[in-house]
Each structure stands twice: as structure tokens, then as C-alpha cells.
Amino acid sequence: MMTTVLVTGGAGYIGSHTCVELALAGYDLVVVDNLSNSWPETLDRVGELVGRPIQFHRLDLREHHDLLNLFASRRIDAVVHFAGFKAVGDSVRDPLSYYDNNVAGTVSLLKAMLRNDVARLIFSSSCTVHGLPRSVPVTEGEPRNPVNPYGCTKAMIERIIEDQVAATSGWRALLLRYFNPVGAHPSARIGEDPIGIPTNLMPYVMKVASGKYPYVHVFGDDYRTRDGTGVRDYIHVVDLAKGHVAALHALERVDGCQAINLGTGRGCSVLEVISEASKAVGFPIPYRIEGRRPGDIAEIYADASLAADVLGWQAEHDLTAMCRDHWNWQRKNPDGYRSSIST
């Protein structure tokens, strides 16, 4: 039975929530993170939530010698791999850093796993590997055709993992393709704390609600959707975290390497998110309609049926819960983890 899990990028938004669920499910955790876009305070709070400290090593996966020493220091049964840069716009402006960090870091990790006979892997992938899908809902069989460097790194890593699994007897891997994670732990002790201006809708909406920004930019209201604004599949981060626990439980039933969508299977428009967020905060959140952004698509949401069949998992939280929990986090932590660091 797998007992010890190495979580890369475990101090990040999705990683920290997954650490909570893994620990509550009985796994021992070893977390590595270079803290380039996260805070050590996060794992202290994870420890509070689960009732025991989390073993943490500040380490960049590209520091291969240090990574090998970590693997040699104790038994590791499986790896859940989150570590990576994730902002689409940044990847367009600085593609080399994304290929270096995301792809080279993963290759270093796989080499360390191979050398130490660790043959179980869950990879944090993304629906961006599909680029502009031919139809919705998006199935796992949709071709990989990314349209930005971030998506390209995820698609490359998927292919590298597939090749490694095919080349090495006994390896098993699941490639979990996320849609749009939002929300926060219901305790409001951990949540999304992007460094700099948020690039995703929900954290920006909540920053507007808290007075950090004057209004939400709505890029386009002339799409062929029900209200003209873009439609996305938003998933509560706790549901997403529980999907990783289900994936670890399912690994022994997986033959080789398989991609699985983690989404709700439902799409919500930008205006629907703003409306529901306004209900959560108790007042209308201001927004302004602007022109479309280059590269945006009208609509994308998941076909989540394979996750139900293979993992026995499905999302439980609706948009109301996502907005409530995200606002609760924002309200109690107006400056994110810096709120407690500065006091």
C-alpha cells in the first residue's frame, strides 16, 4: 500500500489543498517547493488543519543532486507533481523560463524517480493542452493542440510521462487535466494568494469586492453564448484536491498512463460568476465590458464522465459554494498569507 507521497509544489494553491486531503486520507507527506510563487506560511496552516506538521524541503526540481539526496533519505511510494509556472500571459512574454522550469524540472523529477524505483505518478495537467477544442464538452480524446507556451509545456510533459511509462515496466501514471479551480478551504485558513495582479477571473473579482481594484474587466460580450460572455468550467479547489486522493487510490487499477478530466461538466459565464460573487459578498460588484482578448475562446467545459468511471469521483460544490468560500478567504485574509506574516 502506498503510504508516503512526495508532493511537488505543495505550498501552492492547489498543492496545499491537496496536502490537506491527502493527510486526512492517511498519507504521510513530503513536500518540496521552491517558493517562487507561494509562501511557507501555507504549510504551517496545512499542519494546523490536519493536526500534524508537514515535512517541507525548500528545493527546486532542477537542483538534481539535492533532489536525489531527498529521494535517498527516505522511502517514497508515489509522487503528486504540481510544481510549475502557470500564467498564460507570462508564458507568452517569457517562454524560455516556462520551458526551463516546467519541462526541465519534470525531467529531473522523472530521472530521480527512475533511479529510486518510484513508479507511481499523478501529474497536474490542464485543459489548455487542447488549445481551441473542436467541440464541447471536451473529452480526453480531444487532440492536444496548445496555443501558448504554458499549454505547450503541459502537453510536452504529458508526452514525456507517456513515453517514460511505456518504456519502463511497472510504471503507472494519471494525467489530471484541470479546468478552472476556484474557491478556498472552508476554514479560510488556506486559499489562492497570487503574487502580483491576479490573472484569473475569480481572484480578480474578489479583489474588486475588497476594494483592491475599481472594477472587473469583462473581455467581450458578443460571444455566441447565453449572455455573450465567455463560458468556463469552474471547479471548487477542495473537489479538485479530493480528485487527487481518488486518483492515488485508483492508480493500481490503471494500465500504464491515462489522462482524466477534472471538472464539473458544466459551464458558467463571466457575468454569472460576477452575479453569484455579488450575492456572496452582499453587494453588486462593478464591472466594465471591454473588447475581446486575443486568443480567448467562447466556451469550454469538461466531459467529466471518465473521472466518475475510473476514479469514482465527481465534483460536489456548486458556484454558490465556490464564491462563498473564496470570499470568506479574501475577507479574512485581505493580503493573503502576508496578512499574518506582517502582524
Catalytic sites, residue numbers: 150
Q: How far apart are CA 13 and CA 182, in angstroms?
A: 10
CB 181 within 8 A of CB 123: no
Residue whose C-alpha cell reads 510544481 in the numeric block: 83
CA distances from 220 to 60, 118, 204, 213, 289 (A): 39, 47, 17, 19, 6
Cis bond leading into 137, ω under 30°? yes
Secondary structure class of 242 (helix, strand, coil): helix
Contacts of 275 (CB under 8 A, 6+ apart): none
What region does 9 belong to: left with phi over 0, alpha with psi -120 to 50, or beta? left
Q: How far apart are CA 179 and CA 223, in angstroms?
A: 20
Instruction: Give phi and psi for 305, each to the nearest 5.
Output: -70, -35
Q: Give the burial class of 216: count Cβ atoms within 10 A of its Cβ; 0-12 exposed, 13-18 middle, 19 or more buried.
A: buried
Give 42-62 as a 3 state SS string. HHHHHHHHHCCCCEEEECCCC
Secondary structure class of 69 (helix, strand, coil): helix
Q: How far apart are CA 190 and CA 318, in angstroms?
A: 19
Q: How far apart are CA 84 and CA 150, in angstroms?
A: 10
